[in-house]
Homo-oligomer: A and B are copies of this chain.
Amino acid sequence: MTFALVMADPLSSTLGLLALLWLAAKLGGELAIRMKIPAVAGELAMGLTLAALHRQFIAFPDVTLNAAADLLANLGIVVLMFAVGLESTVAQMLKSGAASLRVAFIGVAAPMALGLGGAILMLPKGTPFSVDLFIGACLCATSIGISAQVLREKGAANTTEGRVIMGAAVMDDILGLLVLVLVSGLVSASNGGGPPWGSLARTFALALGFLVVAMTLGRWVTPHLFHLANRLRGEQILLPMSLGFAFLLAYLGNLAGLASIVGAYAAGLILEPAHVRVLEERELHSLEDLVHPLVSVLAPLFFVLMGARVDVGALCQPRTLLLALLLAVLGVLGKWIAGYGGGKNLHPSIIGWGMVPRGEVGLIFVAAGAQLMLNGSPLLSPQIQAAIVGAILLTTLAGPIGLARALRSLKTREAVRGGDQGF
C-alpha cells in the first residue's frame, strides 16, 4: 500500500528504542544506588544486560546497531564534557596545570610499564614484543566521561582534585594519541618502515597548539562573541549559541587531532559566567540550568550503549579471564600511582580512582590494535583482544565505584574534623 510506504516514519523505531534505553538506564541506576554504588555503574551494567538479552533472544533488538541512538549517545558525552568545563575557568585550570601534567605523565607511564611487565609474565614465550607493548598502551587510556559524571553527581567537579583529574584527562588525550602513533609506528617499523618521529612531532604540535590557541585567543574573542549575541532580540538565544560555540570548538579540536570531547571541555572552560550574564538575566535561566536537561537525557544513553558494546561471552575462557583480571589490577594500580602525582594537600586516592576508567578510549585503542598486522598476521589474537576488553570493562566498572567511595570517605573524615575543603 502506498500510504504505508509514505507514512511509516523511519524515526518511529528510534523513538521506541530511546524510550527503552531511558527505562533501562534509570532501572540500572536505581539498582546501583540501592547497592550504594554510583548510578553510572548501574547504567553500564544494564547495557551489558541488554546486549546479553540480545544474544539470548534474537527478537530482542541489538541496541548497539541503531545509528540514531549512537549519535545521541556521542552528543551526550560531548554535552556532558561541556557542562563539566562550565563549572571551572581557564585560570583555575592553569593553577592546577602542573599537578595535572604530573598525573597525566605518571598515569600513562606507570600503567604502560605495569601492563608491559604483566603481559611478558603472563603470555606464552615467543609472543612478539609488539604485542606486550600494545597491551601496555591499552592500559594507559583514560575515559573521563564516567569520572566527570561521578564528580558532577557528588558536587566535586569544581574542587582542586576534580580539576586535576579533568586536566590530566585532557593531557592524556594528547599523550594517548602519541602512544598510539608511537606503538603503531613501531609495529610498522618492525614490518620494514622507519620509526615515526616526524608524524609523532606533528601530532603533538598540532594538538597542543590547538589547546594553547583556544585558551588564549578563545578567551579574548569569546566575550566579544557573546556581546554580539546579547544584541539579538530573539528568544532562546543562550543555549543554541553556547552549544554552537562548544560544538564549533569540538569540531576545530578534532581537525587538530583531539577527541571531540576535549574541544567541548575547552569551550566550557573558556566560557565564563560573565560572558553570558546578560543573556541569562534576559532568559531567566542560567546556562547551567539550560544545559543540565540535555545532559540528563543524553548522557545515560552513552553509558548504557558503552556497556552494551562489551561482548561478555568472549571473556568466558578461564585463561582469558585470568589475564583480564591481572591486567585490570595492574591498570588500577598504575593509575593509583599516578594519583600521588597530584602533590601535597591533594588526595591521591580521589585523583587515582578518577583516572581508572578506560571506557571507550581503551576500546578505541583495541580497535586500532585489531587493525595492525605483524608479518602478515593480525597483531592481537581474539583471546588477547577479549582479555584487554575484559580489563577495560573491569576498570570502567571499578572506577566510578572507587571514586564515589573515595569522595565519600573524605567527606566523612572532613565532617569529623570540621574541615571546609569544598566537598
Chain A residues in the interface with B (C-beta under 8 A): 1-9, 11-16, 18-19, 22-23, 25-26, 29-30, 33-34, 39, 67-68, 71, 74-75, 78, 153, 177, 180-181, 184, 188, 199, 203, 229, 232-237, 239-241, 243-245, 247-248, 250-251, 254-255, 257, 259-260, 285, 289-291, 293-294, 296-297, 300, 364, 367-368, 371-372
Contacts and interface: CB of A to CB of B under 8 A. Distances in A.
Given A7-B364, A181-B3, A184-B2, A250 B15 contact: yes
A234 B7 CA distance: 38
Oligomer copy total: 2
B237 A11 contact: no
6 contacts: A1-B199, A2-B188, A3-B199, A22-B241, A22-B243, A34-B233
B293 A235 contact: no
Nearest to A39: B234
A232 B24 CA distance: 13
Q: Is the interface of A mostly helix, strand, loop or mixed?
A: helix
A129 B229 CA distance: 53
B2 A297 contact: no
A48 to B, nearest CB: 18
Given A6-B180, A16-B251, 15 more contacts: A2-B180, A2-B372, A3-B257, A5-B371, A6-B364, A9-B254, A15-B248, A18-B243, A19-B245, A22-B244, A26-B229, A29-B234, A30-B234, A236-B296, A239-B296
A292 to B, nearest CB: 8
Given A248-B16, A294-B293, A241 B26 contact: yes
